[in-house]
Amino acid sequence: MEFFVYLLLLATSIVGLTVAIERGLALRWNKVVPPEVEAAVEACRTRAEAPVLRRVCEQQASPLSRLLLAGLEHLDWSRKDVEDAMQTRARHEVVKLERGLVVLEIIVGIAPLLGLVGTIAGMMDLFRGVGTEGLSDATRLASGIGLILKATLFGLLIAIPALITWGYFTKKVEVLTVEMEQLCAEFVRRQFQEERQK
């Protein structure tokens, strides 16, 4: 039973590390909000300049590019409809950015519990031996308790980095989302500025 728990703890740590590395690569600032796209948004002040922004967005595949393309495709719609189309696309993009974070959240919860299961299973085996052989060797008993408590320690050593990683990436997704929202709002405002002035 203990071996099975340690195997699960090892698998949990490998999954957690894999998700952390994958999210670390996927949530790089330049990959989500490319500087070229950001600069093109800043330069796009009228509808006549929209094709240039479209070209940059098509060249630089990213969540921000896909949001802006959703707006560019519907510029002949009303401002509210364009904003709604972009918000719908934004929900999809945020879900993609958050992908895998739920796995880290689950690991934070189950790793200590798996460690506790290993400890309890080990204690049961140890006390079963004490029940049949008696307390003839206290040193052996103490050594056995120390050994089985390692499962709880391993569980915590997996859960703590997973919690830190989950918190960091959750905050990073929030910051990236706010940045994309601000750039998209600025884009929409400029595209419909001429309409307001008429």
DSSP 147-166: HHTHHHHHHHHHHHHHHHHH
pTM: 0.85
What residue spans define the domains of the chain?
2-197
Q: What radius of gyration do the chain's Cα atoms show?
A: 27
Convert the pLDDT of each residue in 170-189 to its tens digit.
Answer: 999 999 999 999 999 999 99
Residue 46 zone, left/alpha/beta (φ > 0; ψ -120 to 50; rest) = beta
Cα–Cα–Cα angle for 180, 91, 85, rounded to 5 degrees:
85
pLDDT of residue 134: 63
**pLDDT tens-digit profile of 61-94?**
999 999 999 999 999 899 999 999 999 999 999 9
Q: Report yes or no: 93 and 63 within 8 Å, Cβ to Cβ.
A: yes
